[in-house]
Structure 1
Amino acid sequence: MSRLTTAEREALPDSAFALPGRRYPIPDDAHARDALARASEFHHRGELTDDEYATVVRRAKAVLGED
């Protein structure tokens, strides 16, 4: 996965994140794919609600052109 520096992350608009609170940055394909993997992991551990997981999947797939 490509890394975001703190400055790069702070420069991203809120719309570049899948969830409120600037969680799950998805500014590009690499981050969208990583968000899908991490969201699945956290959902299975019970740390993401069904709605949050669905939002991450929907927003990440839109970035990937799979909507």
Structure 2
Amino acid sequence: MPRLTTEERNALPDEAFALPGRRYPIPDAAHARDALARASEMLHRGTLSQDEYDTIHRKAEAVLRRERM
């Protein structure tokens, strides 16, 4: 997965992030898969709420479905 530069991240619309505050960028399938992995890790660490995890999961899965078409 290519790392987003600051310039690329700043150019993304708010809709390309799973959480408010421009957290968990999911502009493509690779980033969506990474967001799912990181969200699971953060949920188990206790630094992410179940609601936040569910939101990330729902939005990342939508990106993955869109990319499969």
Q: TM-score range by the shorter chain?
A: over 0.9
Normalized against structure 1, the TM-score is what? 0.96
Structure-2 residue corresponding to 1:64: 64
Q: How does 1:1-67 map to 2 (within 5 A)?
A: 1-65=1-65
- In structure 1, the residue corresponding to 2:61 is in which secondary structure? helix
Percent identity of the aligned residues? 74
- The alignment covers a number of residue pairs equal to 66
Normalized against structure 2, the TM-score is what? 0.93
User: C-alpha distance in 1, partners of 2:13/2:56?
Assistant: 16
Q: Give the structure with the larger helix fraction.
A: 2
Q: How far off its partner does 1:65 sit?
A: 0.3
User: C-alpha distance in 2, partners of 1:8/1:44?
Assistant: 29
Q: How far off its partner does 1:55 sit?
A: 0.2
User: C-alpha distance in 2, partners of 1:44/1:58?
Assistant: 18
Question: Aligned AA for 1:55?
Answer: T
User: What's the RMSD between the two structures over aligned residues?
Assistant: 1.0
Q: How far off its partner does 1:63 sit?
A: 0.1
Q: How far off its partner does 1:2 sit?
A: 1.5
